[in-house]
Amino acid sequence: DKDNNIRRPRGVSLAKAALYQPQSDGSWSCLDGSKRIPFVQINDDYCDCADGSDEPGTAACVQMRFHCINQGHQPLDIYSSHVQDGICDCCDGSDELPAVGCANTCLELGAAAAIQRRSEAELHKRGAERRQEMITRGKQLKADRVARRSELQARIKEQESLKAEKEQLKTNAEALETEALEVYREQQRELDANTAQAEQEPQQMRHEASLSFVRFDANKDGFVEITELMIDMDLDKDRNGVVTVEEAKYFLDERERVDLDAFVTLAWPRIKPLKMLADGLFQPPQTEEQAATEAPLANEQQEAQLEIDPPTNEHEDLEDEEEHYDDEEDEEEEPDVGVGEALPEFEATTETTTTTPNYDPETQRLIEQANGARQALEEVERQLREIEHEVKEIEEQDAKDYGVNEEWAMLDGECYTFEDREYVYTLCPFDRVSQKPKNGGAETTLGRWDQWFGEGDNKYTRQKYAQGAACWNGPQRSALVNIRCAVEPKITAVSEPNRCEYSYDFETPAACDSDALAATARAHDEL
Amino acid sequence: VDPTNFKTCEQSSFCRRSRKVQSTGSKYAIIRGTVNTYSDSLTADLINKENHHQFTLKLEALVGSTFRLQIDEKQPLRPRYRVEHALKDEPKTTRIRVQESDELSITVGTSKAVIHGDPFRIDFYENDVLVVAVNAKNWLYFEHLRQKAKAPAEPADGGDDAQQQQQENAEAAQPAGETVDDPGAWEENFKSHHDSKPNGPEAVALDFSFPATEVLFGIPEHADSFALKSTSGTEPYRLYNLDVFEYILDSKMALYGSVPVIYGHGPERTAGVYWQNAAETWVDIYTAETNVVSSLVNFVSGSRKSTPPSAHFISESGIVDAFIMLGPKPMDVFKQYAALTGTHPLPQLFSLGYHQCRWNYNDERDVTSVSAKFDEYNIPMDTMWLDIEYTNGKRYFTWDKFKFPEPLTMIKNLTELGRHLVIIIDPHIKRDTSYFFHNDCTENGYYVKTREGNDYEGWCWPGPASYPDFFNPVVRDYYASQYQLSKFNTVTEDVMLWNDMNEPSVFNGPEVTAAKDLVHYGNWEHRDVHNLYGHMNIMGTFEGLQQRDPNQRPFILTRAHFAGSQRYAAIWTGDNMAEWAHLQYSIKMCLTEAVAGFSFCGADVAGFFGNPDSELVERWYQTGAFLPFFRAHAHIDTKRREPWLFSERTREIIKEAVKIRYSYLPLWYTSFYELEKTGAPVIRPMLTHYPLDKETFSIDNQLLVQQRLLVRPVMQQGVSKVDVYFPAVDDKKNGDYWYDVETFQRQERTGYESIPVNEHKIPVWQRGGSIVPKKERPRRASTLMLNDPYTLVICLDRQGKAAGTLYLDDEKSYAYRDGKHIHVNYEFAENQLTNRFIGKPNYKSDAWLERIIIAGLERVPSSATITVNGISQQLEVEQRNGAVVVRKPSIKMDVDFAVKLNA
């Protein structure tokens, strides 16, 4: 390249060569105009100019940069502090005196860089094909969501009118039932006698819950958290051998952790049935027949219990009923004097000792009718909730940013793992990141989906997961996921650069953008 | 830290017993006719008039206005421990002149000791002024060794009658008839720990008064003010090497190091006492100013003379071995102490650069990338450090092969950039039968033993751990030999060492350290030698590093230290906190350490525990840049805080501070050479050079670097000005000129000045009359600056004069001890700069003189003329930033020259 032969002081780039020409009188002005010096004082290893411009080729001016031409590779500006310090910083060795003996490695480096660029381009090209599929799929998913959502909206309307209808039927049936049961009112007094006993129930329940709280709170921090439940296999509701975060969260009323009060009122009622089940003390309804027989008991019981144990809004389903059976179980162990037939709702409920209440046939029919109406309403309500839940899920997905072209949408619902010496790390994009010791022990949530976290134009190169499990004596865990292009999705590294702050390196074709890469490369070449 | 985990004097039986004498006094007298005089010393027998036990006393005169007083039992049941290895070598004695009239006096030059027989007392005079009085208060207390009564004593501290009875019986069996009725005399408990005390009571205590002084200072290590406070009504200062995390400030609690040297200072005289005892020691301080009652009495009685400051040293065992240093000026007494215990040898230059540490750099990639980041941001950094996590499960001399599979490559990555690596090696040895070091120690009996003769087992970082008995020379040799590259072949001779936890720290031991009834080499109890354990540890390390590479100066950082440890290692102030107050105490603590021999002192920059905000980080870097040991360090649970993790503003301020540090490296290096040669501390309290100015006595938020710089860092949050004290040289408020090192703005008045500061400002002044050598081209590591040119900064005094030295050599080897160095004194007077070599300049350096900056000239000269070997040449002169700059004298540093300013 003959341009490189243009005369200019050492350390000056071609672009600035014109600034380093002597005046006719042999003088030269500092580039900031602050001073005029003899041209021969340029690069004389003494800093004359306030801006350091007289020493582009030495270390004399601390604020100066040295320009390496690096022919065959990329030019580079290095700090003047790195000039003539005995360390070869420029691949052409121009920053050091010959005595240092820096080898010129520019051609090799240039060739290697070219190969690197080509393979990068190739990677992006191949990855971009996958990405295109992901875009197509992502857009399809979005369209599906839109369609599904309007479908669900329509069904909600249907269900709501159905619900109104069933409510009316229930109201009517219950009015008849109430009337028929009027005659049994007298026995209410005896029921009241038992209320005293019932009032003790919260006390006892609290005691029992507190003991359980202490057992669960393994780290004694005054909270029971997800990981502390995850080690209790009794809570494996779906019996798949693992207490998942979701399962554990259910017991904590969908929270990360609960304190004692919340545990007593929200968590324990859900946990207790499973504990009893595990202890063999409680048998859930086995057959439809039985369920039918027991349903009225359950319902009445539920009403009777309203003041002690308000059911939680979201999960008044089967489990709730189980809880109440369960409470009855407790009472079985208490003195049970003078109730018996008159108070069927307090009757023991094990299969062997179930007794049928002594209602007259008409009353019995009205009760069954009312039960039927209640069940029908419940069924409608249940369906409505399911639909609403699905709508909510769709809304959540819509709220997530799946990229300009929906190329990231496919990753939602996937999970990837990475093993190092001690842990298995998991990344479920748009959901959560977690860590599980290989030698056993509970999984720890390192963070839940928070936001894209890349800087500036590179927004989609980094994700943030926040609000993970709290560290002992420290903050809640969090993680950053750095994303790069590759044909196959993979976690390539996980580290913890700060205590409780994790860093994932993740590769996916979604990050492959050959157009963007080409643009960058062009911009680079123009330089 | 929870202070109740550590003993009070009352909870330490020997302290409460010895302290009791403060109300009753004691009765010791020299036995008539037992005095013997020799050419350099005097001996006599001493008797306790109450129990008739006899002691021998020896008073020696040492070279340099110093006396040594030793008192031991005349016929002890067993030998009592005498401290070894603290003194640099056997002190040189000198001839005395003995005069006997009413009293016995011995004279050496201008020093004199006057011995009073009954009550026993020795008065030390310097030029006829009484400067130190020994036992003036009659608080000498010496518990002689005795047989324990046959009846086994019940566990102590119960205080029941039966036990009292038994102890009285025990005392009755003593021929001397003395009663030691303290329930902790023969055994004592603290928390769940039992001390069997098989040797019973054996305390020694003595008082020292300083009649010609007003303030006492010394006895590090405490997180307290530089000037010692009165302890009447409070705890005494405690000297007992302990691992105290998140230590309490403004406290007399013991910390990691114990240096039992104290100084008294007044306008006319400065004197000191080195109490050589390695057992647990408490020091009660009485100062006139804080003693309200006595000053009130004096005020009322119209007496001018208040009670002189005094110190009462109380040690658990050993003998009385006191060195009385008579000054008369602060620098004299600092040098007298250095003559006894030695100085830090000239360190390699790199260790005066900036150190980057963290618990922990995670793996090789982390180390290499942090180093690369310093280059990316152009911030100088000399040394990367690895804390305990680099090891294979806290087994020292091994590596975690997963995180550090190729340490030699990692080390090469650093050394190729001119950087160094420092790794930690602690003295607790993992009890693991697959660990060679443990097996060697077990098989050869190298561990410290329990009273029953078993290997002592404590709990530390590795879990169950034992502790090598470094007091045994064979163990020291074994330990030192482990550093040989043939054995420890995963490091290179450039990897230096950090010895932490060497108090020793024992997590499950009493007060987080070893039990006192453990047994060391020579059958000494741990009680006798505790404060020396870390010292013996670093002696071994120093030996190991010297054997590894006999021509390279070792660098060692230690946490525990005793008198004399400065000969082997630098220290830091331990596990401080990221709080403003801890920043302030870093200066107070290092000033005290500096006058006690430990100039090479620093604090964890930005605080070990906690997460500092960016302002605290900025100010801490600015302060740390002007303490001799400059290292950033942080606890494993803190957020990462390398400079680039902060905002650009903070990063720039950090970079500026580090660069200023590097620009002054020639001054720091010269100061350390002169420390080795003379014992003059590198950093100094103001009173060192302004002894007449009483205001300086209590100043501990500013310091002097030699007598050249005055540093008053900003150490408070959110301030826009700081009050700086410019000291007076006499009692007429005359003072030196002080030139702001950035602007050369001159302070001419003495007293407090309010100095405006912005976030970039580090308030530093150069003294008028001084010349400071600098290198104004900071590089990525100091090692790469070896051949870079020098700048001389000349600040003129009122007479238009200045002087200052420069020292240079190869910055690494011991060749300087063969004279391969240049030591030069520059002098400026009559508008001319000349140099005068101290000794022969015998080192070939490529470095040269780049520029001369002169502040304080009346008018700007037109030019300058440099003359070398009779040949003259014109030099350009320009005015820059309030000073005059002489352009490019371009001479090598070993050349004689004169630069004359032309009118």
**How far apart are alpha carbons B240 and B535 in whole angstroms?**
13
- Residue A505 contacts B, CB cutoff 8 Å: no
Length of chain A: 527
Which positions of B are catalytic?
500, 575
Q: Is the distance from CB of B380 to CB of B662 less than 8 angstroms? A: yes
Q: Collect all residues of chain A within an 8 Å Cβ-Cβ radius of residue B366.
A: 497
- Interchain CB distance below 8 Å, A86 and B851: no
In the predicted model, residues of chain B with pLDDT beneath 50 are 153-178, 290-304
* Closest Cβ–Cβ partner in B362, B638, B784 for A85: B784
Q: Given a cut of 70, is residue A318 above it in pLDDT?
A: no
Distance of residue A62 Cα from the nearest chain B Cα, in angstroms: 6
What is the per-residue pLDDT across A428-483, written as a single tens digit (0 to 9) for each? Answer: 999 999 999 998 889 999 999 999 999 888 899 999 999 999 987 778 999 999 99
Q: How far is CA B821 from CA B677, B809, B818, B849, B852, in A?
A: 13, 5, 8, 16, 22
Phi, psi of A150, rounded to the nearest 5 degrees? -70, -35
pLDDT value of residue B174: 44
- Residue B640 contacts A, CB cutoff 8 Å: yes
Q: Given a cut of 50, is residue A356 above it in pLDDT?
A: no
- Residue B850 contacts A, CB cutoff 8 Å: yes
pLDDT value of residue A523: 59
DSSP, res B90: P
Decide: helix, strand or coil at residue B474. Answer: helix
- Interchain CB distance below 8 Å, B779 and A495: no
Q: Which residue of B has its CA nearest to A472?
A: B637
Which residues sit opposite B310 in a β-bridge?
B209, B286
**How far apart are alpha carbons B557 and B568 in whole angstroms?**
9
pLDDT value of residue A295: 41
Quote the percentage of chain A above a pLDDT of 70: 79
- Interchain CB distance below 8 Å, B780 and A60: no
- Interchain CB distance below 8 Å, B788 and A59: yes
Q: Which residue of B has its CA nearest to A497?
A: B640
- Interchain CB distance below 8 Å, B779 and A85: yes
- Residue B777 contacts A, CB cutoff 8 Å: yes
pLDDT value of residue A145: 94
Decide: helix, strand or coil at residue B677. Answer: helix
What's the mean pLDDT in A58-83?
96
Q: Which residue of A has its CA nearest to B789?
A: A60
Query: For the ranges A93-107, A367-381, B634-648, B857-871, which has the lowest average pLDDT?
Result: A367-381
Radius of gyration of chain B (CA): 28
Q: Is the distance from CB of B898 to CB of B864 less than 8 angstroms? A: no
- Interchain CB distance below 8 Å, B779 and A59: yes
Average pLDDT score over chain A: 81
Decide: helix, strand or coil at residue A505. Answer: strand
- Interchain CB distance below 8 Å, B784 and A87: yes
Q: Collect all residues of chain B within an 8 Å Cβ-Cβ radius of residue A81.
A: 378, 380, 777-780
* Closest Cβ–Cβ partner in B638, B779, B789 for A81: B779
- Residue B416 contacts A, CB cutoff 8 Å: yes
Which candidate in B641, B784, B787, B876 is best for mutational testing of the A interface (most A CBs within 10 A)? B784
Q: How far is CA B423 from CA A491, B417, B492, B638, in A?
A: 32, 18, 11, 20
Phi, psi of B826, rounded to the nearest 5 degrees? -95, 140
pLDDT value of residue A198: 60
3-state secondary structure B42-65: EEEEEEECCCCCEEEEEEEEECCC
**How far apart are alpha carbons B677 and B91 in whole angstroms?**
17
Nearest to B264 by CA among B236, B283, B241, B251: B283
| DSSP β-ladder status, B354-356 and B630-632 | parallel
Q: Given a cut of 50, is residue A357 above it in pLDDT?
A: yes
- Interchain CB distance below 8 Å, B780 and A497: no
- Interchain CB distance below 8 Å, B418 and A473: no
Q: Which residue of A has its CA nearest to B851?
A: A46
Task: Please identify among residues 421-480 of chain A the ones whose CB lies closer than 8 Å to any CB of chain B.
Answer: 421, 473-474
* Closest Cβ–Cβ partner in B366, B378, B851 for A81: B378
- Interchain CB distance below 8 Å, B418 and A85: yes
**How far apart are alpha carbons B751 and A295 in whole angstroms?**
93
**pLDDT class for A349, splitting at 50, 70, 90?**
very low
**pLDDT class for A193, splitting at 50, 70, 90?**
low
- Residue A34 contacts B, CB cutoff 8 Å: no
The distance of Cα B503 from the centroid of its chain, to the nearest Å, equals 15
Distance of residue B779 Cα from the nearest chain A Cα, in angstroms: 5
- Residue B182 contacts A, CB cutoff 8 Å: no
- Residue A65 contacts B, CB cutoff 8 Å: no
- Interchain CB distance below 8 Å, B416 and A495: no
**How far apart are alpha carbons A439 and B670 in whole angstroms?**
56
| DSSP β-ladder status, B204-209 and B463-466 | unpaired
- Residue A497 contacts B, CB cutoff 8 Å: yes
Distance of residue B545 Cα from the nearest chain A Cα, in angstroms: 27
Q: Collect all residues of chain B within an 8 Å Cβ-Cβ radius of residue A62.
A: 659, 776-778
Which residues sit opposite A78 in a β-bridge?
A66
- Interchain CB distance below 8 Å, A82 and B416: no
Chains A, B: CB contacts within 8 A come to 52
Largest CA distance in chain B: 96
Distance of residue A481 Cα from the nearest chain B Cα, in angstroms: 18
- Residue B362 contacts A, CB cutoff 8 Å: yes
Count other C-beta atoms under 10 Å from residue B517's C-beta: 18
- Interchain CB distance below 8 Å, A87 and B418: yes
- Interchain CB distance below 8 Å, B784 and A86: yes
- Interchain CB distance below 8 Å, A82 and B780: yes
Count other C-beta atoms under 10 Å from residue B518's C-beta: 23
- Residue B360 contacts A, CB cutoff 8 Å: no
Q: Collect all residues of chain A within an 8 Å Cβ-Cβ radius of residue B636.
A: 499
Q: Collect all residues of chain A within an 8 Å Cβ-Cβ radius of residue B778.
A: 62, 81
Q: Collect all residues of chain B within an 8 Å Cβ-Cβ radius of residue A496.
A: 362
Decide: helix, strand or coil at residue A155. Answer: helix
Phi, psi of A226, rounded to the nearest 5 degrees? -55, -45
Distance of residue B645 Cα from the nearest chain A Cα, in angstroms: 11
pLDDT value of residue B521: 98
Q: Which residue of A has its CA nearest to B635?
A: A499
- Interchain CB distance below 8 Å, B887 and A46: yes
3-state secondary structure A216-282: HCCCCCCCEEHHHHHCCHHHCCCCCCCCCHHHHHHHCCCCCEECHHHHHHHHHHHHHHHHHHHHCCC
What's the mean pLDDT in A320-347?
38
Residue carrying structure tokens 């649970």: B637
Residue B450 zone, left/alpha/beta (φ > 0; ψ -120 to 50; rest): beta
- Give the DSSP H or E segment for B631: strand B630-632
Phi, psi of A320, rounded to the nearest 5 degrees? -60, -45
Triad B738, B742, B745: Cα angle to 5°: 45
Which residues sit opposite B807 in a β-bridge?
B823
- Residue B778 contacts A, CB cutoff 8 Å: yes
Residue B143 tokens read as: 């518990």
Q: Is the distance from CB of A494 to CB of A515 less than 8 angstroms? A: no
- Residue A492 contacts B, CB cutoff 8 Å: no
Q: Which residue of A has its CA nearest to B638?
A: A499
**pLDDT class for A292, splitting at 50, 70, 90?**
very low
Q: Is the distance from CB of A298 to CB of A273 less than 8 angstroms? A: no
